[in-house]
Amino acid sequence: MTNHGCGCQVGESQFDLWKFAARMATDAVHADASRSAAEICGRLSPRQREVLMLSCKGLTTRQVADMLHISGTTVEEHKYAIYKKMDVHTMVEAAVIAAKAGLV
């Protein structure tokens, strides 16, 4: 087996490569921990924090909209603003930061 210097070797199984990718992703999240999660969440408006907390609980856009008495489009706009302010691309990434900040 040939070592590529990145922790993987030619001939490793597909599963091992997925484990390596997951480890790299986890390391990237931990590297981001240097940014204060509380500081990042502090950039959000109170309404954006509400949308984030409800979304982290697994509620759909429609359910969040109904609970907050706003349209689904408005919820999606809040989510877009949350992703932009938190510099993330998914709700899972946002949830990790929110959990570190103690919001969820």
Q: H/E element holding 87?
A: none
Domain boundaries, the chain: 37-100
- Residue 84 has what pLDDT? 95
pLDDT of the chain, 104 residues: tens digit per residue? 444 455 545 454 555 666 666 666 666 655 555 458 888 888 899 999 999 999 999 999 999 999 999 999 999 999 999 999 999 999 999 998 888 888 87
pTM of the model: 0.64
User: Comparing C-alpha atoms, which of 94, 74, 53 is closest to residue 66?
Assistant: 74
37-100 — its CATH code?
Answer: 1.10.10.10
- Residue 17 has what pLDDT? 64
- Residue 2 has what pLDDT? 47
Tokens representing 24?
A: 């790299």
Q: Are 48 and 82 in contact (CB under 8 A)?
A: yes
Q: Are 97 and 37 in contact (CB under 8 A)?
A: yes
Q: Are 71 and 65 in contact (CB under 8 A)?
A: yes
